[in-house]
Chains A and B, each alone.
Chain A
Amino acid sequence: MSIAILKAPSVSVASVDVARTLRMGLLLGGVGVYLAAVGILAMFNERWIIVGLLTLGYGVLGLVYLVAGMISARRGAGLMTALASGILSGAIAGLTVSVLGLVIGPFSLQSVFTQLNGKLADSLALGLAPLSGLLVMLGIGAVCGAIGAILRFTPLTVRRPLVIAALVTVTAGLFQELIQIMLQDGPLTPVQDLIYEWEGLTAQGAAIVFVVAFILALIGVQISRRRARAAAAKANADSGQSLTKMGMIFLVLVLLPLMGGNYIGQVLLLVGLYILMGMGLNLEVGLAGLLDLGFVGFFAVGAYVTALLTANHPMAILHLNFWVAMPIAVLASVVVGVLFGIPVLGVRGDYLAVATMGLGEIVRVLVVSDAAKPLLGGPLGITQVPKPAIFGYGLTTPIQLYYLTLVASLVAGLIAWRLEGSRLGRAWMALRDDEDVAAALGIDRIECKLLAYGLGAAFAGLAGSIFAVMLASVYPSSFQLVVSINVLALIIVGGMGSLPGVAIGSLVLIGLPELLREFGEYRYLFYGVALIFMMQFRPEGLMPSKVRKRELHAAMGETSEPAVPTARAA
């Protein structure tokens, strides 16, 4: 490589594909402008990653320039050419963003885009005079572009640890409040003093975190490579690995609230409820292949039945103990699930999604309706649902309820796992894969589908029951369509049909946005972007099940075996 550098920089630089590089630079510059115009940049600039040095906003801008460099550098062209295009496109992206800063004032863009104000112009000029700000921004763009180009040329074994280390550092900076709470007053206080100050990471702290994470990731990548090689030699070895994964996730889930306090407990409780619902929907979508967008209906039934049976409220029918009411609520959800399944038995695929969405909405509309008002309280809901107790020991704090949810999730996970490998699980798989063949083999479609709806609804009902206790009240506004979409999205992101995937998906899609509440306005924007990226680059999900992975890769024509005619060819 060094020879190439010495040999002919002039020749290789001349071979830069200027039009393409310009296009990429402008494109990513446009992304930067967009981020600024919708206000994400300004909001991100309020948050330090490294105190006094780097805000989240500038970090994101840097990432944009880096991506510009990365995609315009092409490996085939040689390092110098790639570096030149990286620098060029990074600089152009930087220029585009700076120019926005320059034109904000003179063209009074604020009247069109409210976020484009003087403060943003200042921050885009990096607090310097306009012209020098532009030059510095240009330089930053060029440097980031160059880094992007170089990254393209680093081998995967180094690049992946680098990316992981960067991510860990950013996470350590972003969640500093939480992590500081976890670290303080314990044996780890010296670590806290070392890397954090009041508002975030210190420069030396960031360096330490980055280096440590890099080294650990480097080792981890090596180990996982070796293990992958060993697993490739021996087929079917990854079942043990997924059990360890499951165990590790579980351990994290058990320990997290111990360190984090009530706020974390609150977030985790929500995560746990979504894990429970995810386990249920996973039976329907992941195993039986029944796309269900009305899942929130079962959740609502579980919550309302619990409230009606336990609340100290005039609307309540009985004042039962939670432990008596919960099984009844679950049972009611199952009944609703089966009733709900009957009208959509013959409906498949996309149509099923739409039909179930309608059914889910019916539940919500019924609850808010005037007709049901005397029974369910209409929009005012039912309040004063008492907290449960075990042997006189009240489960009142979010953390205690969280552990209740965790136990319920474990039971749900065990049930789902047992069912997956059972006669019924195989019948579901057959139905998902080919309904006609399944029927020809004697599988009763109606029975199997209704079982999927019923069992799936049971988990949602359980989650609803705990939800009612968590809020100590139920309102119809809690049971919007978006809950169903969230559950479906977390299954897709985690990996369809995969139990650890449900936990991961829930942590990522429900936990993270809760922790980043201040960016709440943009929550669904990030959500959308994350889902698009997921579908593009890892459609099988973060932690896919084996069967799903095979299905997807078969659909994309990536069979591991060469030229074996597939069954579906005709």
Chain B
Amino acid sequence: MAHDTILLTNKVCCNFGGLKALSDLDLEIIENSIHSLIGPNGAGKTTAFNVISQNIKPTSGEIWFRGARIDGVKPHQVAEIGMSRTYQNIRLFANVTAIENILVGMHLHLRSTWWGSIFNTPATRADEKRAHDEALRLLEFVDLKGRGDIIARNLPYGDQRRLEIARALAAQPKLLLLDEPTAGMNPHEISDMMDFIRKVRDEVGVTILLIEHQMRIVMALSDKVTVLDHGQKIAEGLPKEVQGNPAVIEAYLGSGKLVPKKARDAARATLNA
């Protein structure tokens, strides 16, 4: 294993009953890169995320993360080693404030114990103070300065997305999994989010694995792209290489027999945009 590989999956399979959601997935993610996972609906992208973060146990195969084998370990232990994620449908703690969401994210890096909290020891107070300062810093980093006391549910959609990323970053990950961070956004918000993702990579120094639907974003952001279809990897490489790959075009557009040539060309144009 090369020293700059942060995550490696080796022939990972995941079956749900008879359905093969993932078969023999090999992924290699290079440290400090932005790696995109694309594919049509139902291709197994989110399943891949769930398996990598051990939310779902893989049926077979190996997963290595920062030199440790993580398939079969508990999700919270994966988080301890340095992996965090966001969700396709935002899963914030909707009824508490923005800052409390981030504080939950910092759980791993706080040292206060329950008995320390009961007696409100100086160490606990210092720990909480530090946590609060850090949370405020993170809020500022995701452009939510001054909104820490707003109930998460009442934040605008884009802010909720960024808050979810801030919560993930609060766990100080080395690898951040972002599941469709631009879903449901308008073009303006999307370009803001793209800048933001770059900023996260560059300033926090975290590797990013991204699920994305929109080609424009994938092409602009990714260092490397992996294409999934029916749970299988059908292509991998630089964005440009993947873009022209016939298998990819077929997966996205069908075999072409039922699609008129004009429509296919139009769709290809979108893909290339």
Contacts and interface: CB of A to CB of B under 8 A. Distances in A.
Interface stretch (A246-254, A266-274, A417-425, A502-510): A417-425
Interface residues of B, number: 49
Nearest to B89: A570
B107 A561 contact: no
Given A423-B107, A440-B85, A550-B151, A418 B120 contact: yes
B100 A426 contact: yes
B118 A415 contact: yes
How many of chain A's residues touch chain B, expressed as a range?
Answer: 35 or more
Nearest to B168: A441
Contacts of A443: 76, 104, 107
A111 interface: no
B185 to A, nearest CB: 11
Interface string B148-170: 01011111110010000001100
B184 A565 contact: yes
17 contacts: A418-B120, A419-B114, A423-B117, A429-B104, A436-B55, A437-B91, A439-B74, A439-B79, A440-B78, A441-B167, A444-B74, A550-B95, A550-B153, A554-B95, A566-B94, A567-B91, A567-B92
B95 A442 contact: no
A419 B118 contact: yes
B100 A441 contact: no
A224 interface: no
B95 A445 contact: no
A565 B95 contact: no
Nearest to A415: B118
B61 interface: no
A567 B153 contact: yes
A563 to B, nearest CB: 10
B171 interface: yes
Given A236-B149, A433-B93, A433-B95, A440 B156 contact: no
Interface string A550-567: 110010000111001111
A569 interface: yes
A559 B184 CA distance: 20
Chain A, interface SS category: helix
Given A436-B55, A439-B76, A567 B90 contact: yes
A442 to B, nearest CB: 3
Contact of A441 (B131, B160, B171): B171
A52 B107 CA distance: 66
Contact of A424 (B87, B114, B156): B114
A426 B153 contact: no
A442 B108 contact: yes
A532 interface: no
B68 interface: no
Contacts of A434: 91, 93
Given A426-B107, A429-B104, A434-B91, A564 B96 contact: no
Interface in A428-459: 429-430, 433-434, 436-445, 451, 455
Given A440-B85, A564-B155, A422 B91 contact: no
A409 to B, nearest CB: 16
A439 B184 CA distance: 26
B84 interface: yes
Contacts of B94: 433, 554, 566-568
Nearest to A447: B76
B53 interface: yes
Nearest to B100: A426
A361 B80 CA distance: 39
A217 B213 CA distance: 60
